[in-house]
Structure 1
């Protein structure tokens, strides 16, 4: 079975993030071993196998997208009112084909504070990036037609506004009179079209590859979720594998395609989340799974809901759904050794970086299990990183008082109002009533269950000390939420990353 890999970078992260082509300060802020994981995985594969590496990598949204959007292998179709001459009293509707659009960057707020179109802030380009990754994998240009608008695109076709394309260039896939022909796929904002020549390329690709591994950090992790739905729609023969490193959609609309993934046969999800990230707007998405039941009716399983049951999904098991958490902040998980998760201006702390190195070791093991051939990390090195990480629980706790804002230590706002704990959700980043807290899903170590805990704590046997190493420090969350959620015994279990190697 041959696996193709797509690596998606996070917001304002480049496809060569932390590598030799980047600025020295950035390179220095990442681990030598892990680098920035999505970029490093792609680099290691291509360095070993060259053109035979079977992988592509994508820029993140924000500044990287703004600098590369016109080169993406996608075309976007819209209906626009076009005046044939100035002051035309009777402008006509036309089908218009455009390259991927530009979106504003966060820095644009400095010149236009009222701008509502910052790609860094809202991630408006994430869906386009997700589809562009699929197009790059297939070696084709994919045409994105707004959902339900294909008949209108044909009705108002005008060769003069079609960018040199003909209707034949939107001939495939056949029989797409409706979106979601595959019940497990959740519709995005577009349906995909391509031409006859590209249809041959795609057919050839599907004869050569049977599995796609999607790896991404932050909004790159969200791109993985979106891409999984587009893949499931028209390329259902592919086994879909997802590794999302602290997937964060941001403060915008968490629409269904980025909160749901397809519960198809052999689909696997691995999410690794940062327990010490308390920044406002950085809630992690824990995606629901869409499947069908025994009568082929659509069903949705929510891994954070005690009233939801994964057994209703036919042909798929929640054993293929892995939730892990580790110490550190949003940037720590993919390999930063920044002391407080603030980036290049921070001093380096290799004990903090040990957490990202463990993420990298786990990602390598999982990708190799899916058919790749990356050099695995030795067990002795993994044990050393676990020891290094477990030495500084108080430092990780202090990281919770920092926030991704121009003014540091605004994480305390979450401490006053949001328990100073990591927010997660399977449905909304803007509605507090839909938020949960990561600590509320994790079982405390006690004298009664300590024998069930893997021995990765250097011989420490005091339950309180082990819980502190794990990051279980917030009694408010425990008292208010644990019994309802994690203590119910009816939600998907979480595991501390250090224990996952045992």
Structure 2
């Protein structure tokens, strides 16, 4: 490729594929390709059930910017389909942490082969770096690595304006629409900053501040999406209305964190329902949209 930068954007599994593509460029590209900077804007990356390969949970050295946007109201509630929507938070690379950015790619072993792990899937098995979801008050914030959360469900932040996050076109809501409009503006902003050029003007005329004000003024439908205005449950254990996210590779579906633990306390002026049990904020600071 003659490109001097790769800008990737994706939603759900498409966002996960952006991370995988960066690994493939680094592992299989020629010298120029593997050293070409990669920027990733990941909108609610969700690998789905099954094995989370190690190349998903660790950013390769060629990624210079990672922006992840995660939906707040995709809970882990009694709706079984929500259980498959645990979100992926990849670990920042050495460049982002101001540390050594060199790695040695793991080659497929006999044990990997016996487990039917593909060669590409195990490349990062031995280079899993600092977990962004664990507490560490002494670690400085990474550069080129930003984590956002926004009200709405998995589909909402990708453009769905229905009142419940499902796909009934007769159930659209004007009070839900500001979320996908905001994410659209943010995506265009980052892509423009990274060098992408758009042939058409931005389709959203409202400003970011106005959209955020609407989201946090008219938030009833977002509250209902995720289990109510408060996420505490008096009937069920294990915080069923709190989303689970993870930065851990493997097949164990319980290797997750409660999202309202790791993000810390939302600004009190913003309408983010949380639980009283939350604790152990991760060392990376999240931004609340």
What's the TM-score, normalizing by structure 2? 0.75
The answer to which structure has the higher helix fraction is 1
Aligned position for 2:83:
280
Aligned position for 2:25:
231
Q: Which runs of 4+ in 1 moved over 6 A?
A: 308-311
CA contact (8 A) 1:444 1:472 kept: no
Aligned position for 1:289:
92
Deviations 1:449-471 (A, max 9, x none): xxxx6xxxxxxxxx3xx25x1x2
Partner Cα distance (1:356, 1:274) in 2: 11
Deviations 1:395-452 (A, max 9, x none): 21110249xxxxxxxxx9x96544311110001585354211221123336xxxxxxx
- Structure 1 counterpart SS, 2:172: coil
Aligned position for 1:384:
210
CA contact (8 A) 1:338 1:347 kept: yes
1:301 aligns with 2:165: no
Partner Cα distance (1:295, 1:342) in 2: 42
Larger radius of gyration: 1
> Please, what is the CA RMSD of the aligned residues?
2.9
CA contact (8 A) 2:179 2:215 kept: yes
1:492 aligns with 2:284: yes
Aligned position for 2:221:
395
Aligned position for 1:47:
none
Aligned position for 2:49:
251
Cα 1:288–1:400 shift into 2, 3 Å: same
| Distance apart, 1:345 and its partner CA | 5.2
> Larger relative contact order (C-alpha < 8 A, sep ≥ 6)?
2
Aligned position for 1:421:
242
Aligned position for 2:11:
217
CA contact (8 A) 1:354 1:388 kept: yes
> What is the aligned residue count?
246
Partner Cα distance (2:152, 2:34) in 1: 36
Pairwise mapping of residues 66-215 of structure 1 onto structure 2 (< 5 A)? 205-206=1-2, 209-215=3-9
Aligned position for 1:358:
182
Unaligned runs of 5+ in 2: 76-81, 105-126
Unaligned runs of 5+ in 1: 1-204, 312-316, 403-411, 446-452, 454-462, 498-502
Aligned position for 2:39:
241
- Structure 2 counterpart SS, 1:277: coil
CA contact (8 A) 1:259 1:286 kept: yes
Cα 1:283–1:346 shift into 2, 3 Å: farther
Aligned position for 1:268:
65
Aligned position for 1:443:
264
CA contact (8 A) 1:333 1:356 kept: yes
What's the TM-score, normalizing by structure 1? 0.45
| Distance apart, 1:273 and its partner CA | 0.3
Partner Cα distance (1:324, 1:294) in 2: 26
1:473 aligns with 2:265: no
CA contact (8 A) 1:275 1:327 kept: yes
Deviations 1:6-59 (A, max 9, x none): xxxxxxxxxxxxxxxxxxxxxxxxxxxxxxxxxxxxxxxxxxxxxxxxxxxxxx
Cα 1:364–1:356 shift into 2, 3 Å: same
| Distance apart, 1:335 and its partner CA | 1.0
